[in-house]
Amino acid sequence: METGQIRLNKVTGEWVIYAPSRRKRPQDFQQSNQALSSDNHSQKNCPFCLQIYKESEKILLEIKDYQQDLWQTKVVANKFPALNFHENPQRNLEGIYMSLSGYGHHEVVIESPDHYQTIATLSIPEIEAIIETYHQRYLKLMKDKEIMMVIIFRNHGKGAGASLRHPHSQIIASNIVPSHRRIQEAEAQRYFDHWGRCVYCDILEFELNEKIRVILENNLFVSFVPYAAEFPCEIWIMPKEHQADFGSITAEEKTAFATILKDSLSRLYYKLNNPDYNYVINTAARYKAEEPQLHWYCQIRPRLTTPAGFELGSGISINPSIPEVDAAFLRE
């Protein structure tokens, strides 16, 4: 299997991506206790600092800081993509099994020229540039009619899957929607059909009234620990106005989102000593952007615990911390 492939698990209904190109990454499966500050992740070996992409790869988007005559963010194709737009987006049958070619887009958002920064330490205008970059690439990728879903995510720290120290996010656009997302959509649809309201809007209203799980808010966004958080200090950042699609975010909302994202991540950075974390922007799949029951949000999950056998066997999370206690700790 030389090219990428996506296979359907007939037992779970979930898709599995096979990306042979990622085998070329150095030390992919090496077991090591070295931190991201090791020589393997130092500035002198960083491809983003060396600007290898500038010379050898097409820059898909660049946002400049005209006051300092520098670039703020750059977007390039991932050199080791999980999905590739050169593949043919077709479904295939292999006996009882179904597969697809590994069609899609995989991009890297280089968030800053400074190798040692992170979102918690960047300025609000710098984070606004990152949000603007997300938005522009999201809209561009959704113009590909084969794409059903765009996932914007950030891996921070080795324990969260980051292979480079330099601040960066990733964007993957695929022509499939995973079953767990469809399950969430179905739950939201059932709630709307029963109550005639968006479940996420009701969650927001309740949390703002209760206040015990809210960390902070501004005029347009709320940051809170969800009632049934699966991880210690898990944070959701949600727009107060009903929006199913991240693509509909306005300029004013970008500023408000950048502000609350920085504040939320800064609390993790300073209170938990810069923990590893993942965040993802959960947004509507294609054809769902105008649905009244869906609501986009940013989900931040610190890597403070490791799922073990029970979690893997049952699919049920064990969270050793209480959401209300986590919220009070982060709110202080």
Q: Would the pTM of this model clear 0.75, i.e. be above it?
A: yes
CB 220 within 8 A of CB 240: yes
Which whole-number Å values give the CA distances from 310 to 104, 107, 250, 298, 316, in the listed order? 34, 34, 43, 27, 8
pLDDT confidence of residue 31: 46
Same domain for 169 and 44? yes
The answer on 99 and 220 residing in a single domain is no
Q: What is the pLDDT at residue 13?
A: 83
Question: Could you give the dihedral angle defined by the CA atoms of residues 227, 186, 198 and 176, in that order, rounded to the nearest 10 degrees?
Answer: 90
Same domain, 205 and 286: yes
Residues 119 and 256 in one domain: no
Asked whether the beta carbons of 236 and 223 are under 8 A apart, the reply is: yes
Tell me: do 43 and 103 sit in the same domain.
Answer: yes
pLDDT of 26 above 50: no
Instruction: Return the closest-CA partner of residue 80 out of 36, 28, 116, 40.
Output: 28
For residue 44, the SS3 value is helix
* 194 and 147 assigned to the same domain: no
Domain identity same for 59 and 147: yes
Report the distance separating Cα 30 and Cα 312, nearest Å.
23
Domain boundary among 147, 176, 205: 176
CA distance 187 to 189: 5
The predicted-structure confidence for 121-178, as pLDDT tens digits, reads as follows 999 999 999 999 999 999 999 999 999 999 999 999 999 999 889 999 999 999 999 9
Are 84 and 170 part of one and the same domain? yes
The pLDDT of residue 24 is above 60: no
- Tokens representing 155 are 């891996």
Range of the domain at 51: 5-24+32-176
Q: Indicate whether 184 and 285 sit together in one domain.
A: yes
The band of 311, judged by pLDDT with boundaries at 50, 70 and 90, is: confident
Q: For residue 180, give the nearest of 6, 10, 7, 13 by alpha carbon.
A: 13
Q: Which of 160, 176, 192 is at the close of a domain?
A: 176
How many domains does the chain contain in total? 2
Same domain, 145 and 16: yes
Using alpha carbons, select from 140, 133, 178, 169 the residue that is nearest to residue 285: 178
Tens of pLDDT, residues 89-125: 788 888 899 888 889 999 999 999 999 999 999 999 9
CA–CA separation, 187 vs 204, rounded Å? 17
Buried b (16+ CB within 10 A) or exposed e, 118-155: bbbbbeeebbbbbbbbbbebbebbbebeebbbbbbbbb
CATH number at residue 9: 3.30.428.10
Question: Looking at the structure, do residues 103 and 191 belong to the same domain, yes or no?
Answer: no
Q: Is the same domain home to 12 and 137?
A: yes
3-state secondary structure of 277: strand
What's the mean pLDDT in 294-314?
Answer: 92
Last residue of a domain, one of 142, 176, 210: 176
Q: Tell me what the pLDDT averaged over the chain comes to.
A: 89
